[in-house]
Amino acid sequence: MNGLSVHFEGVSKTYPHFTLDNLSLELPTGTIMGLIGANGAGKSTTIRILMGLVHQDQGRVDVLGREMPREQAAAKLDIGYVSEDMRLYAPATLAWHMKLIRSIYPRWDQPYADTLLRRFDLKSHQKIKGLSHGQRVKAALLLALARRPRLLVLDEPTTGLDPVARQEVLAELMAVLADEDRTILFSSHNTLDVEQISDQITFIDRGRIIASDNKEMFLDRWRRLRLALLPDAVLPSLSGVVEVGGSGRLPVLVTDRFDPAMVSVCNDAGATVQAVDPMTLEEIFVANVHSRREKQSV
Amino acid sequence: MNYAMVKRLILKDWYLQRWAILASLAGIVATLGIIATGGKVAFLIGLILLIMVIISIGAQMAVATIVMERKEQTLPFVMSLPISYREYTASKIWGNLLIFLVPWLTMVLGSCGLLLWSPSSRGLLPYAVVMSTEILLSTCLILAVALITESQGWTVAAIMVGNLAVNGLGYLVAHIAGIAKGMWGSTIQWSGAASALLLGEFTTIALLLGLTSFVQSKKRNFL
């Protein structure tokens, strides 16, 4: 790791019906960050600001040492960008697109492009309008990867893909990760995809970053405790409990700061711990969002 | 300004619109051929077709290279390239102008050639030059509206306004004394009115394109 590839500091952007609020984010070089949020949470706005396509109202954005949006042209020379709403030119062939990109990016890697063509089962002479949605996403990914970018920015690239195409795309991304200097920002509302490839996770909701940490830390700290309360016993006070569910005698606690000592604290208070369940990233995300929204509404 | 990137983007649009450009050139040559046959009916039909073809290609270029780029979502692909919006705007203005100038110059040179070839219609030359420039101005208006609004609706409105302007100005210019005087004669009578009209048209074109670049430079959201 060597410095930061992406640095957001106090970035805000206001639209009539949406505000990206005081967003600060750091993406160290060589990491793969998954940006998770519901539809309309602000993922695409964040990424567009990162790419210089939308200008922030406040705050500072640096990408690969370039100030955005002022130095976007220079920064984009080292960025590969694929978004769900990106289309290639329908009447042109993939070969024409490859030729265009090759003429712009000095690090274009033709042998790698040929490898990706075979791996993705794409035909370069085929016109884009003849490709399926999955093939179009793969074609866009090929064009982004073969330019050998230092930073790969993927905005919901797997949305709308069938399971086979999605797995092929994710497998290729995982192969790319072998390069330690490559930094990836991957946004999705599909937590399974993000969980597979990311080592850093950032949750975004209603224009705010609500949590950002190492993936393993998320998975290690978050637990669901299923308790059985003895008659007259009260629920013990535990730190880090973000959600209390279940029924009166059989409460279910969700904590974001699980410690094995919690089990003995519960037992001492007359609450038998029946199970300590690990949580998936999706469950962690949903619990996190609910907890933050409840705090906001209080 | 990264001129190499601007050039690549212009060549991209040129390549993607190559069939439309070729079709417009063929249309212009064909209509000039109809006019060259010499009859009064052929002249009128040829003239109407010529104006139709040249206005259509100008409008088609603006719609296909600007409005459809947003509508068909190829704009994110273009904007992911190492360019700023200033370079994107420059490529669209110069690209559209250069593409349009090919059929437009073919039309202007062909029309002037035909008028000079037939002694009885030489007097029409100043009027033809003024009206050809008006068509160029009308195309620049469509281009400006398409770039600034990126909206199909507004661009269609600009096409209609441009068309009406060509027809309306065609009538008005033909009734300006300095133009009307020698219009049906066999000699070219270039008047001060013709020069003033041309100067006004080119000044409006420059202002229109300058204003477009200025408005574009103030935009903060491109997607």
pLDDT in tens, A230-289: 877 788 888 888 888 888 788 898 998 888 888 888 888 888 889 999 998 888 989 888
Is A247 found in the same domain as A183?
no
Distance (Å, rounded) from C-alpha B201 to C-alpha B138? Answer: 10
Contact B25, B103 (CB under 8 A): yes
CA of B6 vs chain A CAs: smallest distance (Å): 11
Is A175 found in the same domain as A265?
no
Is A18 found in the same domain as A156?
yes
Contact B108, B29 (CB under 8 A): no
pLDDT at position A179 over 60 = yes
Is A68 found in the same domain as A13?
yes
Is A127 found in the same domain as A37?
yes
Could you give the count of Cα atoms lying within 13 Å of B13 in the half-sphere of its Cβ?
A: 30
In chain A, which residues have their Cβ closer than 8 Å to the Cβ of B220? Answer: 54-55
* Closest Cα in chain A to B77: A86
Q: Does A298 fall in a domain?
A: no
Distance (Å, rounded) from C-alpha A156 to C-alpha A188? Answer: 5
* Closest Cα in chain B to A76: B82
What is the ipTM score, two decimals?
A: 0.85
> Looking at the partner chain, which of A53, A54, A92 has a beta carbon nearest the beta carbon of B16?
A92
Q: Does A289 fall in a domain?
A: no
For B154-205, the pLDDT digits (tens) are 999 999 999 899 889 989 998 888 888 888 888 888 889 999 999 999 999 9
Long-range pairs of A108-116 with CB within 8 A, sequence gap ≥ 24: A108/A146, A108/A147, A108/A148, A109/A146, A109/A147, A109/A148, A110/A146, A112/A145, A112/A146, A112/A148, A113/A142, A113/A146, A116/A141, A116/A142, A116/A145, A116/A146, A116/A172
In chain B, which residues have their Cβ closer than 8 Å to the Cβ of A83? Answer: 76
Is A180 found in the same domain as A66?
yes
B74 and A88 within 8 Å at the Cβ level: the answer is yes
- Mean pLDDT for A123-135 is 92
Is A14 found in the same domain as A111?
yes
Residues 41-80 of A with CB under 8 A from B: 48, 51-55, 69, 72-77, 79
Is A269 found in the same domain as A140?
no
CA of A250 vs chain B CAs: smallest distance (Å): 50
Q: Which range marks the domain in which residue A152 is found?
A: 4-218
Is A133 found in the same domain as A234?
no
pLDDT at position A232 is 78
Is A147 found in the same domain as A68?
yes
Q: Does A283 fall in a domain?
A: no
Q: Does A287 fall in a domain?
A: no
* Closest Cα in chain A to B85: A53
* Residue linked to tokens 């909701």: A205
A54 and B220 within 8 Å at the Cβ level: the answer is yes
Interface test with B, best of A13, A70, A87 (most B CBs within 10 A): A87
Residue A31, domain CATH:
3.40.50.300
CA of A30 vs chain B CAs: smallest distance (Å): 21
Residue B98 contacts by C-beta under 8 Å, 6 or more apart in sequence? B10, B14
Q: Does A135 fall in a domain?
A: yes
Interface test with B, best of A86, A105, A136, A151 (most B CBs within 10 A): A86
Could you tell me if B78 lies within 8 Å of chain A, comparing CB atoms?
Answer: no
Could you tell me if A227 lies within 8 Å of chain B, comparing CB atoms?
Answer: no
Residue A96 contacts by C-beta under 8 Å, 6 or more apart in sequence? A89, B15
Is A125 found in the same domain as A14?
yes
3-state class (DSSP) for residue A96: helix
In this prediction, residue A1 has a pLDDT band, given cuts at 50, 70 and 90, of very low
Q: Does A42 fall in a domain?
A: yes
Is A165 found in the same domain as A31?
yes
pLDDT at position A152 is 93
- Mean pLDDT for B127-148 is 94
CA of A94 vs chain B CAs: smallest distance (Å): 13
